[in-house]
């Protein structure tokens, strides 16, 4: 089997880390980095720390408007797919890199497989929601992390090629947690004690690109009863400076550069609480047993809310404050995202499907 995997943004490196090696154990992989994320701490650090194979191609697309960025990825990726002639194009998550891969795979009549298929927030204004829907509809194989994701696909008429696999991010956290406990010195480096700080991340367009929302988030976080550590995405740093909120943010919060995965997992594992608008961080907090306050109005990871580990508070200062100061207890500890062997299942399914389909296109 010959798999062409497309990655481009931070969460995709984390997910590919647990799948790429397994693919290479049983077949060939051509790894393509679109270059959507390119700063050392947004990209290289993950490849080094997580021992991800060096990409065979880096398309060097970098930042732009969504349309131009996606268009450039498509234009750069198409000749690579043509040249490499893979059996399947493998995609992760919901970024513009994911969508570009789905379009090129389907236009070149190569099978398309989507990891993290079937997630829906129900909010079409979110760029990622459109990416997810379009990618799922262009995919021949949909690897769904939860039962709800399978149901979401069925509700849109996608039934063939759908497999429940569990979530690869659970595999990633399990692989990183003990390594982080043993090797990360981030608590000492930042002078933090376990359970004596709040960890926060903010990068969602709806929060960063509207001054009012970003300001409300700063207001809510500033009232946390513990120090707040904030590894800030470059997008958020840019906006804080542009909106003249930088000084205020650095007065109230400990803003640091984005962290490598092991240091980040170590903080997430030891934080008293986390406040985030990230998709991945909500789930990782759940896996690590850290209560999460999600600064969005809706989530794709509804199971984390249903069992009481995650509260949806939106970019609302009062609700953020309440989520961080009130002592709430989760109701249960379900395992809606599998048992940590999603990557093994996915690679097994790819092998099975490709071996039984001589003309490649999976029916
Ligand atoms: C993207 C994904 C989002 C994902 C996030 C993970 C889309 C539509 N969005 O959002 O789903 O949650 O990645 O972090 O694909 N920048 C840098 N250096 C970098 C990367 C970005 O400075 O290495 C800055 C640039 O100013 C850029 C901005 O961040 O314009 C946004 O980057 P972009 O990749 O377009 O979107 P993200 O917000 O990172
Ligand atoms: N992450 C990291 N360092 C950081 C912030 C996040 O390693 O400073 C990891 C985090 O553990 C998760 C992934 O990046 O695995 C999530 O990426 P992000 O929040 O950027 O994107 P999303 O999941 O919202 O698409």
Give CA–CA dist 53/44, Å, rounded: 11
Q: Which of 33, 37, 114, 203 is catalytic?
A: 203
Q: Are 275 and 320 in contact (CB under 8 A)?
A: yes
Could you report the predicted ipTM of this complex, rounded to two decimals? 0.99
Q: What is the mean pLDDT of the chain?
A: 97
Q: And the tokens for 278?
A: 């990230």
| 10 CB within 6 A, ligand 1 | yes
Which pLDDT value is given to residue 171? Answer: 98
Which pLDDT value is given to residue 362? Answer: 55
Which pLDDT value is given to residue 202? Answer: 98
Residue-wise pLDDT tens digits, 92-117: 999 999 999 999 999 999 999 999 99
| 282 CB within 6 A, ligand 1 | no
Is it the case that residue 351 has pLDDT exceeding 80?
A: yes
Residue-wise pLDDT tens digits, 124-173: 999 999 999 999 999 999 999 999 999 999 999 999 999 999 999 999 99
Give CA–CA dist 43/47, Å, rounded: 7
Mean of pLDDT values over 324-349: 95
Within this chain, do residues 40 and 150 fall inside the same structural domain, yes or no? yes
68, 95, 121, 257, best to mutate for ligand 1 pocket (most atoms within 8 Å of CB): 95
Is it the case that residue 359 has pLDDT exceeding 80?
A: no
User: Which ligand 2 atom is at minimum distance from the Cα of 260?
Assistant: 7
Q: How many domains does the chain have?
A: 2
User: Which ligand 1 atom is at minimum distance from the Cα of 278?
Assistant: 12
Within this chain, do residues 96 and 179 fall inside the same structural domain, yes or no? no
Q: Classify residue 91: in a domain, yes or no.
A: yes
Is it the case that residue 72 has pLDDT exceeding 60?
A: yes
User: Which ligand 2 atom is at minimum distance from the Cα of 284?
Assistant: 11
Which pLDDT value is given to residue 333? Answer: 87
Q: Which residue has the higher pLDDT, 318 or 332?
A: 318
Within this chain, do residues 88 and 193 fall inside the same structural domain, yes or no? no
Catalytic annotation present for 203: yes
Pocket of ligand 2 (CB under 6 A): 10-11, 14, 201, 203, 231, 258-259, 261, 264, 278-281, 284
Within this chain, do residues 162 and 273 fall inside the same structural domain, yes or no? no
Within this chain, do residues 179 and 123 fall inside the same structural domain, yes or no? no
pTM of the model: 0.98
Q: Are 307 and 331 in contact (CB under 8 A)?
A: yes
Q: Are 251 and 302 in contact (CB under 8 A)?
A: no
Which pLDDT value is given to residue 356? Answer: 77
Give CA–CA dist 31/53, Å, rounded: 8
- Determine the structural domain holding residue 124 and report its residue range: 2-167+339-355
Q: Classify residue 225: in a domain, yes or no.
A: yes
pLDDT band at 236 (very low <50, low <70, confident <90, very high): very high
């Amino acid at each position: 089997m010959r798999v062409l995997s497309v990655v481009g943004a931070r969460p995709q490196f984390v997910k590919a880390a647990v799948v790429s090696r397994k693919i290479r154990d049983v077949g060939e992989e051509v790894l393509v980095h679109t270059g959507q994320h390119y700063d050392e701490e947004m990209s290289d650090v993950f490849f080094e720390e997580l021992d991800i194979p060096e990409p065979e191609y880096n398309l060097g697309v970098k930042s732009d408007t969504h349309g131009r960025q996606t268009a450039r990825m498509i234009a750069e990726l198409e000749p690579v797919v043509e040249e490499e002639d893979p059996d399947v194009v493998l995609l992760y998550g919901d970024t513009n890199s994911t969508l570009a891969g789905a379009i090129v795979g389907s236009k070149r009549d190569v099978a398309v497989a989507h990891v993290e298929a079937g997630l829906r927030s129900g909010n079409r204004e979110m760029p990622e929601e459109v990416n997810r829907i379009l990618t799922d509809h262009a995919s021949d194989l949909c690897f769904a992390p939860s039962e709800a994701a399978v149901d979401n696909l069925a509700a849109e008429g996608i039934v063939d090629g759908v497999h429940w696999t569990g979530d690869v991010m659970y595999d990633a956290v399990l692989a990183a947690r003990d390594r982080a406990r043993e090797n990360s010195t981030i608590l000492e480096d930042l002078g933090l004690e376990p359970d004596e700080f709040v960890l926060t991340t903010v990068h969602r367009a709806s929060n960063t690109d509207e001054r009012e929302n970003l300001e409300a988030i700063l207001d809510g976080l500033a009232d946390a009863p513990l120090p707040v550590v904030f590894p800030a995405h470059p997008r958020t740093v840019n906006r804080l400076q542009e909106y003249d909120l930088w000084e205020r943010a650095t007065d109230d919060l400990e803003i640091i550069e984005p962290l490598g995965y092991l240091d980040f997992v170590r903080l997430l594992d030891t934080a008293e609480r986390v406040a985030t608008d990230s998709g991945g961080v909500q789930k990782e907090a759940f896996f690590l047993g850290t209560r999460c306050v999600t600064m969005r109005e809706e989530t794709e990871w509804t199971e984390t809310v249903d069992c009481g580990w995650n509260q949806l508070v939106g970019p609302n200062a009062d609700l953020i404050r309440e989520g961080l100061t009130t002592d709430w207890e989760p109701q249960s500890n379900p395992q809606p995202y599998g048992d940590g062997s999603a990557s093994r299942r996915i690679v097994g399914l790819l092998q099975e499907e490709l071996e039984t389909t001589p003309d490649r296109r999976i029916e």
